[in-house]
Amino acid sequence: MNKIDNYFRLKFPELELNYGLINSDKKNTLTYVCDEKYIDIVNKNKNIIGVITTREFADKLASYCYITTDPVFDFWSLYNLISNKNLNNSRSKSSLSETSEISQFSCIAPYNVEIGKNTVIEPNVTIHSGVKIGDNCIIRSGSVLGFDGFEHKRTSQGILSVKHDGIVIVKDRVEIGSLNSIAKGFSWQDTVIENDCKLDSLVHVAHASVIGERCFITASVEISGSVRIGHDCWIGPGAKIINGVSIGNSTFVGIGAVVTKSFASNLTIAGYPAKILSKL
């Protein structure tokens, strides 16, 4: 595919290689390091076998290294190549159930969309390629599903915009309110909304986030990238959850809370930054 990919495939001819981030849980992962603070994390992750990095850090890493002056540019450029190849190889005609009710004023991509039985798509909904919607769902007017989220990298060769390789999975009996925006998955992780979730209007779900079953997400909530929300949670109006945070099952997030760290299950949290008010 390119010289970096070829380098690692020659090093590991017998292995099925995966590209991923430093916390990858996939075996035979190739990643990148551009900051010394990540070296210990990489060395402790037994799944990582190869690293794109600078000469400065190569001697401190336990894995095979490809030396470059800009690991960020080289890794994410390779990621874009792989993503585009996979997307081009996986196009299939969109499948819309005959029992679904789809407005003639909606816009649905002609490929890689699945809409299940008895699902309602209201007017002015846009569904991009790479979206799977289950049975008995409602997608209300003005919502957009499956766009590339916000991911740009500063590199020595300018700003590099990163392609999104994942999809959006909306499971059964989900209601998505008006003017929601739900981004595609990213960095080998899909965006998932589990069974029986209810999202109010003006909710933003960023790339690769997962919302557990039976959650209520009220108006104007912002869920940043790679967030994990457990089952049976209630997220209050205007709450913001920063990227990478996890919230346990049956947790209540108060109005306007700003969640900057992970919390366990069965809690009431609120404030800026959010703190535990009580245990349920």
In this structure, CATH architecture of domain 95-279: 3 Solenoid (2.160)
Residue 1 has a pLDDT of 54
Strand pairing class (198-199; 175-176): parallel
Neighbours of 89 (CB within 10 A): 7
Ordered alpha helix ranges (H), the chain = 3-11, 39-44, 55-58, 71-89
Torsion (CA) 9, 10, 12, 17 in degrees, nearest 10: 0
Least confident of 44-48, 85-89, 163-167, 190-194: 85-89
pTM here is: 0.90
Given the candidates 3.10.180.10, 3.30.420.10, 3.40.1390.10, 3.20.20.70, the CATH classification of the domain at 3-89 is: 3.40.1390.10
Residue carrying the six token digits 């794109």: 52
Say whether 95-279 and 3-89 share the same fold.
no
Q: How do the domains of the chain map onto residue ranges?
A: 3-89, 95-279
Query: Mean pLDDT, to the nearest integer, of 57-67?
Result: 94
Is pLDDT of 8 > 60? yes
- List pLDDT tens digits, range 232-259: 999 999 999 999 999 999 999 999 999 9
- List pLDDT tens digits, range 95-131: 999 999 999 999 999 999 999 999 999 999 999 999 9
Cα–Cα separations (whole angstroms), residue 63 to 39, 52, 57, 58: 10, 10, 11, 9
DSSP helix/strand/coil, 241: strand
Strand pairing class (126-127; 144-147): parallel
Residue 138 has a pLDDT of 98
Catalytic residue among 128, 164, 207, 231: 207
- List pLDDT tens digits, range 18-55: 888 898 888 999 999 999 999 999 999 999 999 999 99
Question: pLDDT grade, residue 89 (50/70/90)?
Answer: confident
Catalytic residue list contains 164: no
In this structure, what token pair is assigned to residue 227?
């967030």
